[in-house]
Amino acid sequence: MSTEQGVALRTDDRDWFTIHRGASPVLGTAIHNGHEVSPDLEDQMALPEEDRLREEDPFTEFTIRDLPNRIAFHRSRFAVDLNRARDKAVYLSPEQSWGLEVWETEPSEEVVKQSLQMHDHYYIMLRTMLRELEEQYGHFIVLDIHSYNHRRDGPQAPAADPETMPEINIGTASMDRGRWAHVVDPFIEKLRTFEFRGHRMDVRENVAFQGKGEQTRFIHETFPQTGCAIAIEFKKFFMDEWSGKPDREALVAMRGMIRSTLPLLEGIVAEMS
């Protein structure tokens, strides 16, 4: 993806992920931000690039740039989906990819193996990084940033009913909600105080999505006593989901909103340790 107005990273098909490690117990991730696929893989795809982009989460990496700890994955979810279990991480049938026909010719076992190696290495890296945060701070919090479409009927069609699609959906299904209420509840309230274009953010829990992705499941299973992973889905009010064009003002506001939660979350971790 080319850099656009400074809100997208410049990457190429050799890049897997970028890690920033800093002094904080809070980690932000953007594992569906990527758009890259290898030339060999792209040659086998039937899905047009613009349709691929529509189902990815572009610009989510931009929202976490002020967090000292952050990870951005650069490969497309259509190459390998880090938020699915390993045996489902490569979409091989339309049933796995919202009815989309991804492949002109099904990728070979060797190609699938190469994609799954990225999945393996990512989770090895993530486990190591979170173990370091655990050892340093006692506890840690992960903000797992995603986005979702709300104009699926076409660029000129009405947007989906906002009653079922909040601007920010917080997914908590994979966590012990009682254990982590003292993290999740203040975090949600903090987001709700943020004003943008004349109104406060509509932030609700487990409405459009429940937070059942592989990354949060992995974190809560691996670090049940010390790691709180919150799945955050931004409705794509920050871009045109059909053209892929970003709304820079909205993205800057989202970045500021995530940045504003950092003192709160760091303070909560300090009280736990």
State pLDDT tens for residues 132-153: 999 999 999 999 999 999 999 8
Q: What is the mean pLDDT of the chain?
A: 95
Q: Is residue 125 part of a domain?
A: yes
Low-confidence winner among 6-10, 54-58, 79-83, 97-101 (lowest mean pLDDT): 6-10
Residue 34, pLDDT above cutoff 90 = yes
pLDDT reported for residue 214: 98
Q: Is residue 196 part of a domain?
A: yes
Domain hosting 30: range is 17-41+58-77+120-272
Residue 2, pLDDT above cutoff 80 = no
pLDDT category of residue 4 using cuts at 50, 70 and 90: low
Q: Which residue has the higher pLDDT, 181 or 105?
A: 181
Q: Is residue 2 part of a domain?
A: no
Which residue's structure tokens are 């091989």?
92
Residue 3, pLDDT above cutoff 70 = no
Q: Is residue 51 part of a domain?
A: no
Q: Is residue 112 part of a domain?
A: no
Residue type, 70: R
Residue 14, pLDDT above cutoff 90 = no
Q: Which residue has the higher pLDDT, 36 or 9?
A: 36
Residues making up the chain, counted from first to last: 273
Q: Is residue 140 part of a domain?
A: yes
- Radius of gyration of the chain from Cα atoms? 18
Q: Could you give the percent of the chain with pLDDT greater than 90?
A: 87
Report the CATH number that the domain containing residue 235 is assigned in CATH: 3.40.630.40
pLDDT, tens only, 174-194: 999 999 999 999 999 999 999
**Which SS3 state, helix, strand or coil, does residue 26 take?**
strand
Q: Is residue 89 part of a domain?
A: no
pLDDT reported for residue 5: 59
Please name the helix (run of DSSP H) or strand (run of DSSP E) that holds residue 266, with its range, or none: helix 262-272
Q: Is residue 96 part of a domain?
A: no
Kindly report whether the global pTM for this prediction surpasses the value 0.75. yes
Residue type, 18: T
In the chain, how many domains are there?
A: 1
